[in-house]
Amino acid sequence: MAQDMTGGCQCRRIRYRVMVDNDEAYLCHCKMCRHATGGASIAFVSVSLAALSWQTEPDWYRSSPIAERPFCATCGTPLGFRFVEGATRMDITLGSFDEPGFFRPVHNYATESILPAWQDASHLPGYRSDQNPNVTDRWMKAVGKLPD
């Protein structure tokens, strides 16, 4: 079901609004996305260019002869991926959406480049950040509360 969504970068200089087609997202494991985002893989949502509006135009990095990637030059947030020629759709980074929990992954892409050890981390022990004094003490000292 189509849904009106918003998002943007960490410092909030770049903001967008987009009508997404549905709740489907995917993971790209390709080496270029890994370098562009610094992640083991990157979660993307494919959107129609006609349904996307940037409230502030992002900065663009020409990452290859065929593609460019929007980002924020102030805070560095990777915002997506777009083919340079003939694109009617582009990818937006899942983590840049205000409500990323709306989406669910439906496939893996560039499976030849998957880092197998990172495919399923659900069996690993988990630790809450709000119970880590090395983090919470710094927040309390800096601003008197924990981040949202």
Contact positions toward Zn ion, by CB under 5 A?
Answer: 9, 11, 13, 28, 30, 33, 72, 74-75
Q: CA angle 146-74-84, nearest 5°? A: 125
* Shortest Å distance, C-beta 145 to Zn ion: 22
Q: What three-state secondary structure class fits 84?
A: coil
Tell me how far, at minimum, the Cβ of 114 lies from Zn ion, in Å.
12
Rounded CA separation 1/148 (Å): 29
Comparison of 34 and 136: residue with beta carbon closer to Zn ion: 34
Question: Min. distance of Cβ 22 from Zn ion in angstroms?
Answer: 21
In this complex, which beta carbon is closest to Zn ion, that of residue 61 or of residue 136? Answer: 61
Helical spans, DSSP H, in 6-146:
31-37, 133-143
User: Which CB atom, from 24 or from 137, has the smaller least distance to Zn ion?
Assistant: 24
Beta bridge partner(s), residue 20: 3
